[in-house]
Amino acid sequence: MTASDCLVALFAAPALGAAIAAGSRHPRVAEAANLIGSLIALAAALPLPFFAAYGDTVLLGDYLIVDRLSAWVSVCTALVYCLSSLFAIGYMRTLGEDAKLPTFYGLFALFGWTTLLAPLVNNVGVYWIAIELTTLVSTFLVAFERTPESMEAAWKYIMIVSAGISLALLGTVLIYWAGTFSLGPSYALDWATLTAAAPRMSPALVMLAFLLALVGYGTKVGLVPMHTWLPDAHAEAPAPVSAMLSGALLNAAMVGVVRFLAIANASPVAREAHVAMVLFGLVSLAVAAFFIVRQERVKRLMAYSSVEHMGVIALGFGFGGAFGTAGALFHMLGHSLNKGLMFFGAGAAMRSYGTTEIARIRDFGRHFPRIGALWLAGAVAITGAPVFALFFSEFVILLGGFDQRFAWAAYLMAALLILVFIAFLNHFRIMFHEPGEAETDAPARISAWCVTPMAIALVPLLVFGFWWPSAFWNYFEAAAHALGMVAS
């Protein structure tokens, strides 16, 4: 099997699943088509980092690339897509809208396809198109339940994100223009060509293009202050869609920021670009922390947690170096798994209690011991507490801050993470340890389809909290060198 074979399966399976699901009139056929497509996509994505470890593979006329960054993000995305597809079977059946499920699964598989495509795109212009495709497809999923709140969230999502992506397009035009002074009026617009030409580009143009990409793609990532679409969209979308938005879409958009940062790393404005990245990361982490403190609704709590963790990942790449880059990449995986688990638990709690309000979800662990234990473990993990994977990645990112002369930012990051830990778990104290009756007419039993993906997600979060394979460090260190995060 080659990297090309894996990519064929990776893209064909969700596309075929989307076609079968959308064309079927039977909801069980639709959910099976989507699930099988996600399983094949995961099987195809898992070998990609092994191929990338032996060198970059460029395919389809240089329009697709399997390198260390794209392969890693593809695995993160495929994991979330597969787990969300499992959870969706149990969750979507509770909505009582079987007639709409073929449409849902068709869109869901198409959303999985777009989020798998974007990180692997090797052309800066086509990457912009791929990210815009994720917006168009996911907008319909955000509005799937057709309530006034979900429709408003969908409109807010597409308006704000499209405005941000327009700035990213302007950044793309500027970086192309900057390259024309040394490469001529027409040249290949792939990431490697732009990075090689960066030392000869105008530093002012490179910095401006990077800032536009940071703000533009940062809007899709959910970095503050461009994050305002995210709490509404995550809160109103069905739980499996929220998991995909948080665990897959945000990483796909972060790839664009990191690619532009790699271009800036090859230019004289590398330090200024990293400072900008660090500032956006810190502000995102700070704003998310204070919104987590005062949050009253359970899925909005998870949404602001996503803003927080995207801020942490931005800090990792902003710190740069081997530690910062390794921590950021590892955090992508941990956050994808953990946030899927958290949105699955939130969705089950909301359906069972018939409310989105934290104050009305009481004694959850006693009413639902299996899913309650998994959700509570996920809550501890998502705060970056030992012995889970996110503690490991956040610790390594902090080391990166001290290693790369960003000690002031590392200290602020540590203080804000402590605040998040206290505030986030206080909300779970209310839901788990304050007595109350379940205010719901729904059956107490939660489907195994909902419990199983939560258990699967928790296992690697726990294992990687104790053990970081040496192969991971070698892979991340090589990725840091390839992205220009480490001085040659």
- Inter-residue long-range contacts of 292-296, CB under 8 Å, 24+ positions, other chains counted: 292/420, 292/423, 292/424, 292/427, 293/419, 293/423, 295/358, 295/427, 296/357, 296/358, 296/359
Q: Could you give the count of Cα atoms lying within 13 Å of 93 in the half-sphere of its Cβ?
A: 15
Question: Which tens digit of pLDDT belongs to each residue from 312-353?
Answer: 999 999 999 999 999 999 999 999 999 999 999 998 888 888
Is 354:442 a contact under the CB 8 Å cutoff? yes
pTM as predicted: 0.95
Instruction: Point out which residues pair with 65 in neighbouring strands.
Output: 58
Question: SS3 helix, strand, coil % of the chain, rounded to 5?
Answer: 80, 0, 20
At 470 the pLDDT is: 87
Per-residue model confidence (pLDDT) at position 445: 65
pLDDT digits (tens, 9 = 90+) for 196-207: 999 999 999 999
Taking the C-alpha atoms of residue 323 and residue 485, their distance in angstroms, rounded to an integer, is 10
Does 437 have pLDDT greater than 90?
A: no
Mean pLDDT, the chain, whole residue set: 92
Name the residue ranges covered by the structural domains of the chain: 3-482
Q: Which of 354, 346, 382, 349 is nearest to 368 (CA)?
A: 349
